[in-house]
């Protein structure tokens, strides 16, 4: 298992995540919400959240899970923790995943 920050300055660890995938190493990320307000405020994430009547953090966590990235949730809010516990039940359509992928690569 590998834990690392997930943010633009590391180019979202694209190469490192590919290495982990190729070598059966689980990639865990942290700092993904705090370091990425631009992603949480992006059109694809907001639209997906509005369509499901949930918050953008939950959509972003669902995206990360869909990409094989294990979220590390550092919240101290019981409300946020309850919301985040249900993220694994959110399944994003391939076009929604692709739209968020494009944000990470731009």
Q: For residue 106, is pLDDT > 80?
A: no
Mean pLDDT, residues 18-38 taken together: 92
Q: What CATH number does residue 93 fall under?
A: 3.20.20.100
Sort strands 2-5 and 27-30 into parallel, antiparallel or unpaired. Answer: parallel
Containing structural domain, residue 40: 2-105
Q: How far is CA 30 from CA 47, 51, 64, 81, 96, in A?
A: 24, 26, 11, 15, 22
Distance CA 100, CA 60 (A): 9
Distance CA 9, CA 99 (A): 20
Looking at residue 64, what is its pLDDT?
93
Number of domains in the chain: 1
Q: What is the pLDDT of residues 39-73, one digit of tens each?
A: 999 999 999 999 999 999 999 999 999 998 888 88
Measured in whole angstroms, the distance separating CA 75 from the mean position of its chain's CA atoms is 15
């Amino acid at each position: 298992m590998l834990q690392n920050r997930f943010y633009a300055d590391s180019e979202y660890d694209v190469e490192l995540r590919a290495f982990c995938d190729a070598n059966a190493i689980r990639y865990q990320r942290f700092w993904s919400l705090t370091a990425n307000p631009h992603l949480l405020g992006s059109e694809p994430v907001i639209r997906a959240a509005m369509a499901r009547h949930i918050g953008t953090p939950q959509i972003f966590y669902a995206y990360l899970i869909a990409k094989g990235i294990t979220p590390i949730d550092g919240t101290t809010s019981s409300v946020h923790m309850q919301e985040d516990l249900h993220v694994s039940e959110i399944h994003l359509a391939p076009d929604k995943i692709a739209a968020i992928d494009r944000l990470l690569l731009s």
